[in-house]
Amino acid sequence: MLTRRQLLQSALAPTHFPASARAVIFLFMPGGPSQIDLFDPKPELRKWHGKPLPVEATKDLKLAFIKPNANAVASPRQFARHGGSGAEISDLLPHTARQADQLCIVRGVHTDAFNHDPGELMLMTGSMQFGRPSMGAWVNYGLGSESRNLPGFVVLSSGAPPSAGTNDWSNGFLPSAYQGTQFRRSGDPILYLSSPEGFTREMQRSRLDVIRRMNEKRRRETGDPEIDARIASYELAFRMQSAAPELLDLSSESARTLEMYGVNREPTHQYALHCLLARRMVERGVRFVLVSHGSWDDHNDIDKGLDKNCRITDQPSAALIADLRQRGLLDSTLVIWGGEFGRTPMTQQQRTDIGYGRDHHPNCFSMWLAGGGIRAGVTVGKTDELGLEAVEDRIHVHDLQATILHTLGLDHLRLTYPHSGRDFRLTDVAGLVARKLLRRPPA
Amino acid sequence: MAPAIFGVAFAAAGLWSLQPVQRPLAPADIDGFIRARLTREGLKPSPEAPKRVLLRRLSLDLVGLPPAPEEMAAFLADTSADAWARQVDRLLRSPHFGEKWGRHWLDQARYADSDGFRSDRFRPHAWRYRQWVIDALNQDMPFDQFTIEQLAGDLLPNATGNQRIATGFHRNTLTNREGGIDPEQFRVEQVIDRTNTTGTVWLGLTVGCAQCHDHKYDPISQRDYYRLFAFFNEADEDHMDAPMPGEWGPHLQARPEYDRKRRELLAAKNVPALQAEWEAGMIEAAAHPGKRLDWDHAFDDLRTDCEDGEKILRTPAAQRTRRQSKILTAYFLGNYGRVITRERKEQLQFDKLAKQLAELDKTLPALSEAPVMRAHARETRLLQRGDYKNPGEAVTAALLPLLPSTGVTRPARLDLARWLVSRDNPLTARVIVNRIWQEYFGRGLVRTAENFGSQGETPTHPELLDWLATEFMDGGWSMKRVHRLIVMSAAYRQSSITRSAVDAGNKLLARQSRLRLSAESIRDSALAASGLLAPDIGGPSVQPEEASGRDRYRRGMYIRQKRTAPHPLMVNFDAPSGYGALCRRNRSNTPLQALNLLNDPAFVEAARALAKRTEGAEFDERLNRMFALTLGRAPDADERAWLRAYLEQQPPAVAWTGVASVLLNLDEFITRE
């Protein structure tokens, strides 16, 4: 494992301009968390509760399941102001609220898709089409990996997996070296990580040694440098075989740390473990960690659904911020929390036998960012009083992507890859860096 | 508008790939062109590769499998002048040829066994198209016919079943069944995909760039695009009974009894009357939305969740096909509960009835089916900014004006297909021979195999490309003839050993290239070497990890391709997931590939089988046999010594499995040299 000092000194692929972040942890909440019940209170909805919203406000809405004339439903949650910044956060997120002064809450995020697959792809790959590289793949393509022993892009998933599956962390048309490697929850953390049954580590090493010798011989005979890369891949694979178990071995973590995240306790354990592992990965030079917890797709019974997901994720997400901060890693690690879209101010009362829910809402939703050169203790953006549209500091997901790349020192316009006749980039043909989110607006 | 058209005409005049294909006067074979270029650059070609390397190369290239030791021995013993030609012809005749080259075509056809998107439903009949491809290539179906049948087989006069199955090409589009999607939106997206795929696969043009605006680089206006789009817009998805030999008899025999029992079961629960009432309610909800919310939702879901649901609903009951009636009744039984009270739902117990019907279905021997296309008249409008909700002027189907016209006044899809393979079309033959070439040398004569437009690269050997294209067309569009021309050449048979760094990227072909095998070929080679391979040709897809018996050991191309959950081996070794036409695979090199070959139980099983297959012999002989099976050669003294030392360190129970695994992990094993 590299020390932090070594990390800072290690050679990097040159960036387009100075970076404020070296690593990204994306706390991905697929399904679409309800901003109205978490970060964006809409007291005005109480007036409309149980009634359709005014036609002139809803007539252009295109929604996945409900009609725009569905009845509005006010949030039953209590909102209070938190921290020195007075951020408004609901009672579902008491732990996150205590980190309010570290967060940059962004209320005006919007996207083009109102269904899960295209929405997730839009957020993760910048396009609603399948087959494009994921943000983590782009970042590793742009910056290279800092870890000698672990993949540069790791995926950890708990709860229901995201609906677009592996497409959310695909290398797309980039070389497969940039694909997200999913750590699995049971069995090997990385597929095929364990040596075959009956093969000890020493036996694996001797198997690799003879493979290496024979490959080196072939290299001399053929002059093909690709064999050097093959040899290097086998060596990295071998190191991963010990680095991954070391990464997963939490014996060096204090009881207080485990307690802070909620590891070994339900309902937080799995997601907490992933947040803690994300920190350990960043410490070991992993460039991009995608931590996914789903699903927030509360078409029905949203009160119950949100309560459950917040009980699982609130404490570990907050602990991650606090822990990165106390270790001096928050400044160089960008943490992002959010889903592919938000939820409607109207109810989706499909059935009478269970509680109400909310439909997908792409026009405005909330995310938060922390660390990595992002402003702390601010809320940026504003939505209308009914929660239908973002009206101030609107940030399209392409803008968010441009901003994330920017913190890493990458210009989203210049990070391109030629494919099928043209240069592609993460932000497709759009994207503006949201300078208002940056701590030090660059000169 | 006029200046743009002028600009278009000007650009078209300049682009190399749009110039007529001209047969160069001299030289008269592949090697002549390659050598002439090398001579100009002051380079010499490489010597021929050793015979062992050559046969392994040829076998992997033509059938995707390493040569069996007996095949190698026969070739080495054959000192006749036509020894090589005999091997070439043997392998071109092998039914595995259609598998190896079929997979190459399936990449372009964006084949998969599932819908894609969130539900990503399994497509149980998709394989019928794959089968058609394998058969067509094995029969060396001329490429013009191969084209016409896939793009418009349904429109051929007296189209045969197989000619209709070929149109399954268009059915490899993704299908979105997500809530809220407007079926028209998705239909349009599918038509766009068909248009763009056809443009990429046959013309090597990024026509899709003209979807929202005139093409920025190539002479394709947005209007041209929608006129091309119109060919595919005037078609709908269809479905046909396509029984395999021997299926009809048992089916017809069992059918009267089956029909009677089914009628009884449905009548006992009063389904016909209730369903008729429900259908009327759905049609009412469709006509007057907003009255009853539960019915509105139920209708929306029918449109997205039920295959052809709305279409069947609107077809009078008496005119529905057996299949359509069955689909709608099944959907009714599963969803009626949503528009009635819970008490009524519990009282009806349709779930039980559905189970009984499913049991009954098992008594009726099934007829295989196939997804196909059929003509369907429909007006086409230019979609402004590519938005289906923003239709502009009406357009009629027309061939791309950047290419010579065929003179047909009101062309249909069939005319489009014929035009693509007309002698005057400068693109198709060049594009196709270039992709075949690419598989043999690791890069095409035009490196950008998917783009022959102005943003693509120009050919390294333009005359050779034209010569091959001419040979292809004049040779009756025989693909096997092109394959044969290439593998018979000295250029193909050169050594792949790197001599100098003069020609980085080996553009000039002063040597062959070492190429990492495809995901499928890596699996197939390991199975072949270990003796586990089930070499059956064709048939439905398999899930080897869950199968026992032969299905566990089928070739990689038969592994079920689920778009959202591709097989790990396929992901790790750069096989496509079927999201769009892929003309050129990556050849990456990653630690996950190492873990895959070292530790994946399937490869450990192959190593164990290889160890077992060579049991009984003494060390030297056993090692010789293993090398012959995996690398097609004998070990040298160093290798022998290293492997003996390795073997002696290992516990005896797994020692030879370890040796076998070492060989299966060698760069040489997964590389075509």
In chain A, where the domains are located: 14-192+256-437
CA–CA min distance B142, chain A (Å)? 27
Q: How close is the nearest chain B Cα to the Cα of A161, in Å?
A: 11
Q: Which residues of A touch B496 (CB under 8 A)?
A: 222, 224
Q: Please give, rounded to a whole number of angstroms, the shortest distance from the CA of A220 to a CA of chain B.
A: 10
**Given this structure, which CATH class describes domain A14-192+256-437?**
alpha beta
* Chain B residues whose beta carbon lies within 8 Å of the beta carbon of residue A131: 577, 579-580
Comparing CB atoms, the residue among B579, B666, B673 nearest residue A215 is B666
Residue A267, preceding peptide bond in cis (omega within 30° of 0):
yes
In this model, does residue A189 exceed pLDDT 90?
no
Q: What pLDDT is attached to residue B15?
A: 87
The pLDDT, as a whole number, for residue A174 is 85
Q: Distance between CA atoms of A72 and A62, rounded to whole angstroms?
A: 16
Q: Are residues B590 and A233, on separate chains, in Cβ contact within 8 Å?
A: yes
Size of interface A-B (CB pairs under 8 A): 197
CA distance A137 to chain B (A): 14
Which pLDDT belongs to residue A90?
A: 97
- Backbone phi, then psi, for A251, in 5-degree steps? -65, -20
Confidence band for A115, pLDDT divided at 50, 70 and 90: confident
Interior/surface letters A105-130, b for 16+ CB within 10 angstroms, e for the rest? bbbbbbbebbbbbbbbbbbbbbbbbb
Cβ(A368)–Cβ(A106) under 8 Å?
yes
pLDDT for the residue B395:
95
Most A CBs within 10 Å, among B572, B598, B654, to test the A interface = B598
C-beta atoms of B591 and A217 within 8 A: no
Name the residue type at position A195: S
Contact B229, B199 (CB under 8 A): no
Tokens (6 digits) for A99: 């980190």
Q: A176-180, A415-419, B156-160, B398-402: which range is least confident on average?
A: A176-180
Q: Is the pLDDT of residue A130 over 60?
A: yes
Provide, as residue numbers in chain A, all residues whose Cβ is less than 8 Å from the Cβ of B300.
Answer: 65
Smallest CA–CA distance from A196 into chain B, residue = B599
Any residues with CB less than 8 A from the CB of B290 and at least 6 apart, and which? A67, A69, B296
B428 against A160, higher pLDDT:
B428
Dihedral sign of CA atoms A215, B624, B610, B528 in order: positive
Residues A176 and B572 sit within 8 Å (Cβ to Cβ): yes
Spatial distance between the Cα atoms of B78 and B54, rounded to a whole number of angstroms: 14
Non-local (6+) Cβ contacts of B483 within 8 A are: B62, B92, B101, B436
* AA identity, residue B226: Y
Contacts of A241 in chain B (CB under 8 A): 595
Confidence of residue A353 (pLDDT cuts 50, 70, 90): low
What average pLDDT does this structure show over A402-425?
A: 91
Q: Inspect the interface and report whether the beta carbons of A422 and B209 lie closer than 8 Å.
A: yes
The counts of H helices and E strands in chain A are 12, 17
Q: What is the DSSP string of B232-249?
A: HHTEEEEEEE-PPTT-HH
Would you say B644 and B624 are in contact if contact means Cβ atoms under 8 Å apart? Answer: no
- For chain A, report the end-to-end CA distance as a whole number of angstroms: 36
Nearest CA in chain A to B607: A196
* Nearest-by-CA chain A residue for B449: A420
Inter-chain CB proximity B342 and A193 less than 8 Å: no
- DSSP state, residue B426: T
A64 vs chain B: nearest CA distance in angstroms?
A: 4
Residue of chain A whose Cα is closest to the Cα of B589:
A230
Residues in chain B with CB shorter than 8 Å from the CB of A211 are 662, 665-666
Closest chain B residue to A207 measured between Cα atoms?
A: B662
Q: What is the pLDDT of residue B4?
A: 33
Q: For B29, list phi and psi in degrees, rounded to 5.
A: -150, 170
pLDDT in the model for residue A19: 93
Dist CA B130 CA B26 (whole Å): 40
Residue A9 has pLDDT above 80, yes or no: no
Give the nearest chain A residue to B189 (CA atoms).
A129
Residue B559 in 3-state DSSP? strand
Among B564, B603, B610, the residue to mutate for chain A (most A Cβ within 10 A): B564
The sign of the CA dihedral B210, B215, B220, B223 is positive
Contact A203 B577 (CB under 8 A): no
Amino acid B178: pLDDT:
67
Low-confidence winner among A232-236, A272-276, B31-35, B129-133 (lowest mean pLDDT): A232-236
Can you give the pLDDT at residue B180? 63
User: Per this entry, what is the length of chain A?
Assistant: 443
Q: Three-state DSSP class for A49?
A: strand
From the list A190, A211, A222, the residue facing B665 with the nearest CB is A211
> Which chain A residues have a beta carbon less than 8 Å from that of B180?
63-65, 114-115, 360
Q: What is the CA radius of gyration of chain B?
A: 28
Q: What pairs with residue B565 in β-bridges?
A: none
> Is B118 in contact with A151 (Cβ distance < 8 A)?
no
CA–CA gap between residue B392 and residue B222 (Å, rounded): 11
**Which of A148, A149, A156, A146 has the alpha carbon at shortest distance from A242?**
A149
Name every chain A residue with its beta carbon within 8 A of the beta carbon of B344. none
Averaged pLDDT, A128-145: 91
Closest residue of A to B292, CA-based?
Answer: A350
Residue ranges of the alpha helices (H) in A200-357? Answer: 201-222, 226-248, 255-261, 269-283, 302-326
Q: What phi and psi values does residue A187 have, to the nearest 5 degrees?
A: 65, -145
The single-letter code of the amino acid at B305 is D
Whole-model pTM? 0.82
- Round the average pLDDT of chain A to a whole number and report it: 90
With CA atoms as reference, the chain B residue closest to A350 would be B294
Bridge partner list, B362: none
* Residue partners of A110: CB distance under 8 A and separation at least 6: A362, A363, A364, A365, A390, A394, A395, A396, A397
Which has the higher per-residue pLDDT, A176 or B584?
B584
Report yes or no: A136 and A291 within 8 Å, Cβ to Cβ: no
List the single best residue of B599, B630, B659, B666 to mutate versus A (max A Cβ within 10 A). B599
Compute mean pLDDT per 10 residues along chain B, 673 residues long, and list them.
Answer: 34 76 81 94 93 98 98 97 97 98 98 88 95 98 98 97 97 81 85 96 92 86 96 94 89 94 94 93 87 83 82 90 90 90 88 93 90 94 89 94 84 96 95 98 93 89 95 97 98 90 79 96 98 96 94 98 90 88 87 94 97 95 98 97 96 95 98 97
Closest-CA residue to B230 (of B390, B411, B401): B411
The percent of residues above 70 in pLDDT, for chain A, comes to 95
Residue A233: which of B174, B594, B642 has the nearest Cβ? B594
Q: What is the predicted pLDDT for the residue at B179?
A: 62
The verdict on a CB contact (< 8 Å) between A230 and B600 is no
Of B181, B580, B661, which has the smallest distance from its Cβ to A131's Cβ?
A: B580
Q: Which of A150-154, A439-443, B338-342 has the highest mean pLDDT?
A: A150-154
Quick one: tokens of A67? Answer: 């009609």
pLDDT for B2:
31
Residue B294 with chain A: CB contacts under 8 Å:
350
**Residue among B594, B600, B601 minimizing CB distance to A234:** B594
**What phi and psi values does residue A343 have, to the nearest 5 degrees?**
-130, 155
- Round to whole Å and give the CA distance between B673 and B669: 9
Q: Report domain extents, chain B.
A: 142-242+373-420, 248-367, 516-672
Residue B24 pLDDT = 78
- Residue B383 CB partners (closer than 8 Å, separation 6+): B188, B211, B226, B390, B391, B392
A187 pLDDT higher than 90: no
Q: Give the residue on B whose Cα is nearest the Cα of A223.
A: B498
Among candidates A181, A194, A421 on the partner chain, residue whose Cβ is nearest the Cβ of B206? A421
b or e along B512-547 (b: 16 or more beta carbons within 10 Å of the residue's beta carbon)? bbbbbbbbbbbbbbbbbbbebbbbebbebbbebeee
Instruction: For residue B595, give the H/E element and its range.
Output: helix B591-599
pLDDT of residue A55: 87
Per CB-CB distance under 8 Å, the chain A contacts of B573 are 176
Of A122-126, A306-310, A422-426, B373-377, the poorest mean pLDDT is in A422-426
Q: CA of A135, closest CA in chain B: separation in Å?
A: 18
- How far is it, in rounded angstroms, from Cα A73 to Cα B152? 52
CA distance B252 to chain A (A): 42
> Closest approach of chain A CAs to the CA of B262, in angstroms?
32
